[in-house]
Chains A and B, each alone.
Chain A
């Protein structure tokens, strides 16, 4: 082992070196070739001792986390070989990690013009694992929240059936903390410290780009669920997260792949079979479209309107002004504005955003991209083009909106090229069939209708 970092793009092997847990801190170590260890630390506040009877589940959860979180480091060099120290993975596990790394890094690969197919292969043995038993987890849920409308809607649905739940988040965001406080639930804030060496690698020329952060947060919460005792991790990913952003060289690229149903199902099954049979992983909003979620959000009313933000650019700094929460320039801002508009009085919506994004002619190209008119869907967590078109069509028929620059433009230039029979809003408000919500929480699912 050397102490000096080298350009990871020149390396031959990516190594999952070791993982450990003590006093509420998980340590995950990685390395390129024989280079210095890259150690990530995740801190679980007020962690109890690992409860008796859950030791094996905890070990399995920690290993899962080690393997999932490695994606942040692996991508710096994408060397040809992956080495996992310790007991070999079984086929099911290796297949899941292969899929996570290939699909979760698809946007990264597209941006950097790389082809990862065939390059990522987690080593495995054919041994059949013993199915994980149930470990008697208490009947309460972890609700990851992100400060945006989706998690707020999920939280309120769970509260409406009186289920026991804790609002959880990873990292240090004042906006999320404020939103979490507003839910009235107990809270759990886990902190995550990337290996400092990663910044050094960046200076040396590492590959960089988007990673499947929801998968990492999911694995962190699996560890938390076993440690603190929760029987379910309930995300707020909706239906459209499963739709690919674009197709590139025969491969689908989905910016939010780890929020999609494919990953959810694989991860859910893996947690059941490898960690604990009674730990559920699901998304409450899965059957619902973005539009159904925004309409549910609009119904919640005033209390959240002044604190939430789904904007990805601006929300680190909390302030009383709308411009502190909504940059107005990113696709998230554009989509959330458009999707809320059919369900909220116009003066209320514009007061939340502090401006009217649909009356700004400079944003024509940005909204075209949302509508999938001329351009592909932007790389952000936003709804399907068809939903955006349905919302825009609804506004085109509303006198208080139809003269706004971009709505008028839609009526004039885009609408004539569309089939009006595919533009109705109502079908989007109906639930789909697929979801993994456990029986205990089905009432919350219905509360969203």
Chain B
């Protein structure tokens, strides 16, 4: 290898510690990867110490070996584990190296002898340590044979465990602690021996000279210990993901890679849910200020996460949101007792007696509430019943389960509270059982009912971005979204928006008149065809409330859409443009009797979403086929005001009134042929419609007369950078799987925004700018909330671009505002744009839906006109 030809390193060359886990050392191909990475570090001019785990599955095999009482079975198990290593040697075309042979012999002896001589726990530690001893010996042989001379180092020579007062024999041997301090003598001694070393994770030696284990997360911890001992330039943890993310990617696909964290933040994120790093591996590095880098073995080109000392030059930001489920709360209520000396000690003694360990604590004058993590003891023994019985003697007890702890992590949490109003309002909708904020000012934890977590977490993540509390626009800290890095199918970068290619025409249109809306009909057609590709859907309606421009209605009629209207006015507008053959659906809310009368005179299918019309105006519907809009009892969406399910929303007949509705419909002589539910707007998770669909179908099956299920719209359109678009293929898969279970029902949908949002832009011109305070700059446009009210009404985010200076570096952070006399007249907060000047043309994207239709003449300013681009 070329790196081998490098000149010898000076004695004081820096150290880099690289750690590889069990799957990274299990195959020859993965070892070649290690070889390449280690050689490149050596080529940088660093001494390299590689720390490895046991081959995947070997540690479990060794633990299993320890459970056998017969010597023969232990020996057989040891032989089987040896075979794994022989097989890998074969794959590497290597003969058995002496170091590995010695380890295999050592294991065979330990297995045959059993625990008698060493004592049970010390013997277990000695046996399990062989996983790493063998993998590192094998690695040394492979690396050396392939041109990177590598010294095998016994970690036990370097890592000395310390006995701590709260440890017992078990924890001293199986969860040992090391207190490493930079040791220049060790660095020098190793430097004299070579340039590249390989050693074991997970193991150390105690004061009596026995082999001990470091417990869970042990290999990461070993790497950190070595990093501290050698005062390394950095510690690299190589794993199967690029680092820590702003949320668990399994819950939030748009979670962003965290490129920079300080030790405390990273430790907090690791402790509250992230699995990438064990929290204990950070503290050894803090004092010697050794940075830790998390990298993806399969994608070494990705930046990864750098964890180091506190960085002062960044704006305060929430870094991550995490959730832990399965939490049980014990709430204890008592008047006046808490102040009595020893009372609380007695209470906590009961927890200790029943083997339950307390995590979070919240307290008031008359109440103390504590949380318990989901241990086996809690779930499968009568511990909680016995605890409650004990506590009930001294206070009122309530056991609250299942709960989840949602934690926001970020340095300087309290200084961000003012940005969290929308987030706190979201929690205001929930049962919050406990709030905890510790004095380290790194976190804010809410304990809520567990069933809300999966829905709320992605939403909170979005809201934190929308509120400017999670500053994803700070590209120093926040990297790409998980979906973009690891998501299936879609390319990482979204296609450029149509308006980038139409810049000259748009500038011309804006020069003629401003403000104005421009609609790009090819984009409408393209979106329409995406909906039409949904095989499972029998009929797609365009929800015309999003945009009633005749040109758009005409295009969608040509694309074969049906139309969904919510008022007689919309029915008229549609009837004036679309052919007689296009089916119509009338789905009003709180519509007057005369509205129904008007709609019944058209060909529209009528949806009723309350008892009142069928109860009091039943004769209108005699002999008619009607659709019932039900409220499935919960709502979704990107903002409180666009959620249309749950008791907080005025839409739909609640499930418990469905039977009554059916009786009333029967009395009226109307046939209920369809069920409809629509939970909200802007939903980007395909699974959601499957849930609505299957719930409607299960309900419909009991009713009997239902032919049609209308699962509404709400197909989301991404509006934040890095947000993943709705996966239409996944959506079709979800819908098809439900459809197979219920082939008897036709499936209808009614998308609106999805079809037209991206097709429209609002063009405006800069009128002036204003500076306030040290660094707040306002950019004033010639229109605002009178043309586009979504930012003010829903906190919606619309991309904003300076069309005149498109492509110039975005250097200035602006608050983009309109001329309306309202504090809320803001089109975009904290937007980085090129330095902008009077008369520059500014484009506000995604204005095709709920733009012009919601415009007003407030302040008696004319709203924007509308132009079509064919």
Residue A400 is within 8 A (CB to CB) of chain B in the complex? yes
Q: Which residues of A contact B383 (CB under 8 A)?
A: 345
* Cα–Cα distance between A354 and B633 once the two chains are bound (Å): 16
Q: Tell me whether A345 and B691 are in contact in the complex, defined as CB-CB below 8 angstroms, given that A172-B741, A199-B744 are known contacts.
A: no
B688 to A: closest C-beta gap in Å: 12
Stretch at the interface among B23-31, B208-216, B702-710, B761-769: B702-710
Q: A131-170: which residues lie under 8 A (CB-CB) from chain B?
A: none
Q: Tell me whether A317 and B738 are in contact in the complex, defined as CB-CB below 8 angstroms, given that A350-B401, A356-B400, A399-B397 are known contacts.
A: yes
Residue A355 is within 8 A (CB to CB) of chain B in the complex? yes
Residue A401 is within 8 A (CB to CB) of chain B in the complex? yes
Residue A186 is within 8 A (CB to CB) of chain B in the complex? no
Residue A351 is within 8 A (CB to CB) of chain B in the complex? yes
Q: Which residues of B contact A346 (CB under 8 A)?
A: 328, 384-385, 399, 401
Q: Which residues of B contact A323 (CB under 8 A)?
A: 451
B69 to A: closest C-beta gap in Å: 26
Residue of A209, A302, A351 with most partner-chain B CB within 10 A: A351
B328 to A: closest C-beta gap in Å: 5
Instruction: Choose one: B374, B389, B694; the contact of A347 (CB below 8 Å).
Output: B374
Instruction: Choose one: B326, B384, B454, B695; the contact of A345 (CB below 8 Å).
Output: B384
Q: Which residues of B contact A209 (CB under 8 A)?
A: 704
Residue A398 is within 8 A (CB to CB) of chain B in the complex? yes
Instruction: Choose one: A203, A301, A314, A356; the contact of B401 (CB below 8 Å).
Output: A356
Residue A403 is within 8 A (CB to CB) of chain B in the complex? yes
Instruction: Choose one: B381, B402, B738; the contact of A351 (CB below 8 Å).
Output: B402
Total interface residues on A, using CB and 8 Å? 38
Q: Tell me whether A401 and B450 are in contact in the complex, defined as CB-CB below 8 angstroms, given that A317-B691, A346-B385, A348-B380 are known contacts.
A: no
* Cα–Cα distance between A322 and B389 once the two chains are bound (Å): 28
Q: Tell me whether A345 and B380 are in contact in the complex, defined as CB-CB below 8 angstroms, given that A350-B401, A354-B402, A355-B402 are known contacts.
A: yes
Establish whether residues A317 and B400, one from each chain, have CB atoms under 8 Å apart when the complex forms: no
A318 to B: closest C-beta gap in Å: 10
Residue A327 is within 8 A (CB to CB) of chain B in the complex? yes
Instruction: Choose one: B381, B385, B695, B703; the contact of A314 (CB below 8 Å).
Output: B695
Q: Which residues of B contact A301 (CB under 8 A)?
A: 380
Establish whether residues B694 and A314, one from each chain, have CB atoms under 8 Å apart when the complex forms: yes
Establish whether residues A403 and B396, one from each chain, have CB atoms under 8 Å apart when the complex forms: yes
* Cα–Cα distance between A365 and B657 once the two chains are bound (Å): 13
Residue of B691, B698, B740 with most partner-chain A CB within 10 A: B698
* Cα–Cα distance between A351 and B384 once the two chains are bound (Å): 14
Q: Which residues of A contact B328 (CB under 8 A)?
A: 346-347, 350
* Cα–Cα distance between A208 and B744 once the two chains are bound (Å): 15
Residue B609 is within 8 A (CB to CB) of chain A in the complex? no
Establish whether residues B400 and A400, one from each chain, have CB atoms under 8 Å apart when the complex forms: no
Q: B678-711: which residues lie under 8 A (CB-CB) from chain A?
A: 690-691, 694-695, 697-699, 703-705, 707
Q: Tell me whether A403 and B397 are in contact in the complex, defined as CB-CB below 8 angstroms, given that A172-B741, A345-B385, A351-B402 are known contacts.
A: yes
Establish whether residues B380 and A355, one from each chain, have CB atoms under 8 Å apart when the complex forms: no
Residue A411 is within 8 A (CB to CB) of chain B in the complex? no
* Cα–Cα distance between A365 and B698 once the two chains are bound (Å): 22
Instruction: Choose one: B392, B451, B744; the contact of A355 (CB below 8 Å).
Output: B451
Q: Tell me whether A399 and B389 are in contact in the complex, defined as CB-CB below 8 angstroms, given that A317-B737, A329-B633 are known contacts.
A: yes
Establish whether residues B399 and A355, one from each chain, have CB atoms under 8 Å apart when the complex forms: no
Q: What 1/0 mask marks residues of chain B from 635 to 671 whose CB sits below 8 Å from any chain A CB?
A: 0000000000000000000011000000000000001
Residue A321 is within 8 A (CB to CB) of chain B in the complex? yes
Establish whether residues A208 and B738, one from each chain, have CB atoms under 8 Å apart when the complex forms: no
Residue A121 is within 8 A (CB to CB) of chain B in the complex? no
Establish whether residues B741 and A316, one from each chain, have CB atoms under 8 Å apart when the complex forms: yes
Residue B449 is within 8 A (CB to CB) of chain A in the complex? yes
* Cα–Cα distance between A313 and B656 once the two chains are bound (Å): 14
* Cα–Cα distance between A356 and B449 once the two chains are bound (Å): 9
Q: Tell me whether A202 and B699 are in contact in the complex, defined as CB-CB below 8 angstroms, given that A351-B374, A354-B450, A354-B451 are known contacts.
A: no
Establish whether residues B382 and A359, one from each chain, have CB atoms under 8 Å apart when the complex forms: no
* Cα–Cα distance between A248 and B595 once the two chains are bound (Å): 40
Residue B398 is within 8 A (CB to CB) of chain A in the complex? yes
Residue A404 is within 8 A (CB to CB) of chain B in the complex? yes
A299 to B: closest C-beta gap in Å: 12
Residue B188 is within 8 A (CB to CB) of chain A in the complex? no
Instruction: Choose one: B382, B385, B388, B703; the contact of A208 (CB below 8 Å).
Output: B703
Can you report 15 A-B residue pairs in the complex whose CB atoms are below 8 A from each other? A202-B704, A208-B704, A314-B698, A321-B454, A328-B451, A329-B655, A346-B328, A347-B326, A347-B379, A348-B380, A351-B379, A354-B402, A354-B451, A400-B389, A401-B399
Additional 10 contacts, C-beta under 8 A, given A172-B740, A350-B402: A205-B671, A313-B698, A316-B741, A327-B695, A348-B379, A348-B380, A356-B402, A399-B385, A400-B384, A404-B398
4 pairs of A and B residues whose beta carbons are closest in the complex: A208-B704, A400-B388, A403-B398, A399-B388
